[in-house]
Homo-oligomer: A and B are copies of this chain.
Amino acid sequence: MIKRYLMTPGPTPVPEDIMLLMAKPIVHHRTKEFKSVFKDTRELVKSVFQTKNDIAIFASSGTGAMEASVSNVLAENDTALSVAAGKFGERWGQIIRAFGANPVELSYEYGDFAKVEDIQKAIENNPKIKAVFMQASETSTGVFHPIDEIGLMLKEKFPEIVFVVDGITAIGAIDVKTDLWNIDIMITGSQKALMLPPGLSITSVSEKAKNMIAKTKNRYYYFDILKELASDGGSYTPAVTLIYGLNMALKKLLDEGLENVFKRHTLLAEATRAAVSSLGLELLAKKPANSLTAIKTPVDSTKVIEYMKSFGVDVSNGQGSLKGKIVRIAHLGYFDKSDILMAVSTLEMALKSSGVEFNFGAGIKKVMEIFLNEQ
């Protein structure tokens, strides 16, 4: 008998009351009742996104919204800057190419973060650049990019450029100020800090982005952002149960208070990072995000993950060349202090069982000290 603790950076655990709400009988999507919930949900999204921009909700994964932002903003042969410091950053380049546009790819080592001056230089060197595509937090490495500085630099130096940010593991976990930071298109998915099952992408779209989309032609039908924005209950059949779940999840976040939500994520992230340091281990991220922690393991991380799984704890391996080298522990969404106690104690046992020499018990003790002082 093993209880399950889902600590992967998506999907993440779903609160029981949201699960039960989503088990209620299906409402038809072209009814007043549903349209009113849909409208209310879009308003709640704006609060959580910290934006006044319009909200598009697609039945898709987060990648669907990444595609929508590329195919709607870029025409064939258009040029865009894509910033990559991990697997999801690289995905921007792949999508841009798939839609016949030209990515200028600014690449960093895995674990590194984007520098505002590099982006400025890249745009100065490529005046054709119409849009910048990047992540807020890079889920494959646990890095948080300085999207605040980048957004403000773009606003000042290149006011025509559309700034597209994948906030899939940032929104609802990290204090990301969409409007203040000049983010034209902000994207998230349901299965991260919004505490829902996978199946929804949520995107905010600025007036500037809408104008660029209106002037642009490319190939898309389902991911028609303007059509979705103009609809009063989804351009095509919306994922009704997930919309109800999203409505409740957003209310939960706003009831807790966004400031408290960010504080909670900061506490959990800081405790995890302090434990890593107490164990004599290193983080992968040079500028770590508060939504997940990627830890370099001195032994094959696949074994570490396997051992943690025997305690019911599901954490993630590295992707691509990082496979076997890191463990990624999520703490975004429906996570509390108990999850960090579980994650760190099982990580320690896993390392010990793999023969790593370290001060056994030091990590969990550090976590307990931090929680004790915070209480």
Interface residues of A (CB under 8 A from B): 1-3, 5, 256, 264, 307, 310-313, 334-339, 341-342, 345-346, 348-349, 352-353, 360-361, 364-365, 368-369, 371-372, 375
Interface centre among A3, A5, A371, A372 (most CB of B within 10 A): A3
Looking across the interface, which residue of chain B has its beta carbon closest to that of A2?
Answer: B336
B311 in contact with A1 (CB, 8 Å)? no
B353 in contact with A3 (CB, 8 Å)? no
CB neighbours of A360 from chain B (8 A): 365, 368-369
CB neighbours of A2 from chain B (8 A): 336
CB neighbours of A334 from chain B (8 A): 1, 3
Q: How many copies does the complex hold?
A: 2
A336 in contact with B364 (CB, 8 Å)? no
CB neighbours of A364 from chain B (8 A): 345, 361, 364-365, 368
B348 in contact with A368 (CB, 8 Å)? yes
CB neighbours of A335 from chain B (8 A): 1
Output the least CB separation between A303 and chain B (Å).
13
CB neighbours of A353 from chain B (8 A): 372, 375
10 closest residue pairs by CB, A with B: A361-B365, A349-B372, A341-B345, A3-B336, A1-B336, A3-B338, A349-B368, A364-B364, A361-B361, A2-B336
Contact of A338 among B256, B307, B336, B342 (CB under 8 A): B342
**CA–CA, A345 to B368, complex, Å?**
7
**CA–CA, A311 to B337, complex, Å?**
7
Output the least CB separation between A48 and chain B (Å).
15
Looking across the interface, which residue of chain B has its beta carbon closest to that of A260?
Answer: B1
